[in-house]
Amino acid sequence: MSDIDVRPPRKTETNGSVEYVPVTKEDVAFVGTGPVPTKPYVDEQWYEDEKEAIFRRVWLHVGRIDEVANPGDFIVREIEAVGVSLLIVRGNDGNLRAFHNVCMHRGTELVCATEGTARSFSCPYHKWTYANTGELRGVPDNGNFFDLDKTKFPLMEVALDVCAGFVFVNLDRHPKQTLREYLGTWADSLEGLNIDVSDVFSEYVYDVDANWKVAYDNFQEIYHGRFVHPRSIGRSTMAPENPFGYPTKYTFREENLHRSKTLWNNPHFTPDGPIEALASELTRAGMAKGPVSGAKRPSTEHYYIFPNITVLSSPLYTFTQTIWPLGPARCRSVIRMYWTGADKNASTRFAREYRMAALLDIHSEDRDIIEAAQKGLSSRALDTVLFQVHEVTCRHFAAAVDRYVTDYRAEVAAKRSGEAL
Ligand code: FES
Ligand SMILES: [Fe+2]
């Protein structure tokens, strides 16, 4: 499997800026050109199948290693779409593991807290107790069970792996690929962010009345920026030579999985007033300590990791947006911006808060339009939608979802016909 780069040749101008050369229809036609069905955005059965085909089978990003840095540190993560609660814990042996947050006696939810530090976990029902490495250690009135061998009932482990400090899990009991195989060169990209040095992040979470893919698509294309975000990002991303602020490069993982785009930075950009200028200056001076400050490359990249992660890496900061399905027309967006070290003084605090406020501003602008898009789609007036050149990311994503759901349905059908024989 290899990657496909779509990158028109460019030249650096005498003033140091890079001329804008648009990506063309011919460049991206291999991803497809026709209308795309709306059914995946509105159909309840499609949503049910996505849960099994995608969210129970692929690697999902659930946290950062700094959330579980020391022995006993744990976080509990709900994967609402599939009704799964995970206990992610660093054992006293130093190893990080994920378990179903389910007691092996009669299935009760084991840990109610969302995070903490513990040497062991006791089920609230009959007090079966597990070490933070998963072994079953204590069973009250053990003698009244029938030949109970405690070594056979550790917590049920879930596949877990880490890339660039991002913790991933896979709910498949036998994942078909390792995390590294799944991410391909996107693993190298994540590691190239220098984000491992980050040990603290800021976060905000908001729910949207839209299918998770409608919300994800919104962040995949910049076509809408000119109309929805003129105030917030217009000046930094658009200029007469590139009035829509279109990206200069796209990269696609073969087999329709992950994708990335390189944003065009407006060489004529000037800050909008003294506060923005000050925040930019503080960030640039390292006050916000984004882990990519002084990054090896000056460009701003969006990495889209299937199924639901966006990583934005700029020379000044890095943030992720993870979109979790909550229902056919509801989802949750988790935004995290990554820093290094605690904010030790008011300047650092200001620079970080400014970055978060600016990001929240952009997402606030998006929220209503995403919900309006869902409302129209849910009316079922349209059977198909159209994607232009710079919505190729949405088209590529739609193809990935379609492939997973189609393969899953074929597998279920084959199993049924096998059983019928
Ligand atoms: S269900 Fe957990 S101890 Fe009984
Ligand atoms: Fe937007």
Which atom of ligand 1 sits closest to the CA of residue 123? 2
Distances (CA, A) of 394 to 18, 21, 240, 247: 26, 21, 25, 14
Spatial separation of the C-alpha atoms in residues 210 and 96, rounded to whole Å:
34
Taking the centre of ligand 1 as the mean of its atom positions, its distance from the CA of residue 126, in whole angstroms, is 5
pLDDT digits (tens, 9 = 90+) for 187-208: 999 998 888 788 899 999 999 9
Distances (CA, A) of 252 to 270, 305, 387: 32, 11, 16
Q: What is the dihedral of CA 408, 411, 412, 414, to 10 degrees?
A: 160
DSSP state letter for 72: T
Q: State residue 295's pLDDT score.
A: 47
Taking the centre of ligand 2 as the mean of its atom positions, its distance from the CA of residue 221, in whole angstroms, is 8
According to CATH, the topology of domain 60-176 is Rieske Iron-sulfur Protein (2.102.10)
Judged against a pLDDT cut of 50, whether residue 292 lies above it is answered with no
According to CATH, the topology of domain 3-56+186-409 is Naphthalene 1,2-dioxygenase Alpha Subunit; Chain A, domain 1 (3.90.380)
- With contact defined as beta carbons under 8 Å apart, do 295 and 367 qualify? no
Give the 3-state secondary structure percentages of the chain, helix then strand then coil, rounded to 5.
Answer: 35, 25, 40
Q: State residue 294's pLDDT score.
A: 40
State the residue for tokens 């490495």: 133
Judged against a pLDDT cut of 80, whether residue 338 lies above it is answered with yes
Ligand nearest to the CA of 225: 2
* Pocket flag, ligand 1, residue 145 (CB < 6 Å): no
* Pocket flag, ligand 1, residue 108 (CB < 6 Å): yes
Q: List the alpha helices (DSSP H) in 51-132.
A: none
Ligand nearest to the CA of 226: 2
- With contact defined as beta carbons under 8 Å apart, do 263 and 219 qualify? no
Ligand 1, atom 1: closest residue by C-alpha:
106
Average pLDDT over residues 242-256: 90
Q: Please tell me the least confidently modeled range out of 8-22, 318-332, 354-368.
A: 8-22
Domain ranges for the chain, please list them: 3-56+186-409, 60-176
Q: How confident is the model at residue 361 (pLDDT cuts 50, 70, 90)?
A: very high
Residues 6+ apart with CB under 8 A from 231: 365
Which atom of ligand 1 sits closest to the CA of residue 127? 3
Q: How confident is the model at residue 287 (pLDDT cuts 50, 70, 90)?
A: low
pLDDT digits (tens, 9 = 90+) for 2-33: 788 887 766 655 555 667 889 999 999 999 99
- With contact defined as beta carbons under 8 Å apart, do 248 and 237 qualify? no
Which atom of ligand 1 sits closest to the CA of residue 107? 1
Lookup: tokens for 213:
């893919």
Average pLDDT over residues 116-121: 98
Q: How confident is the model at residue 305 (pLDDT cuts 50, 70, 90)?
A: very high
Say what percent of the chain tops pLDDT 90. Answer: 73
Q: State residue 99's pLDDT score.
A: 98
- With contact defined as beta carbons under 8 Å apart, do 357 and 235 qualify? no
State the residue for tokens 């027309």: 329
Q: Which of 322, 296, 135, 291 is nearest to 219 (CA)?
A: 322
Residues 6+ apart with CB under 8 A from 234: 225, 226, 245
Ligand nearest to the CA of 138: 1
Average pLDDT over residues 402-415: 96
Q: How confident is the model at residue 153 (pLDDT cuts 50, 70, 90)?
A: very high
Lookup: tokens for 389:
């050149």
Q: How confident is the model at residue 172 (pLDDT cuts 50, 70, 90)?
A: very high
Spatial separation of the C-alpha atoms in residues 236 and 233, rounded to whole Å:
5
Q: Which of 402, 276, 272, 415 is nearest to 351 (CA)?
A: 276
Q: How confident is the model at residue 420 (pLDDT cuts 50, 70, 90)?
A: confident
* Pocket flag, ligand 1, residue 130 (CB < 6 Å): no
The H or E element that residue 47 is part of is: helix 44-50
Which has the higher per-residue pLDDT, 121 or 290? 121
Rounded to the nearest integer, the mean pLDDT of the chain is 92
Q: Which of 217, 199, 215 is nearest to 207 (CA)?
A: 215
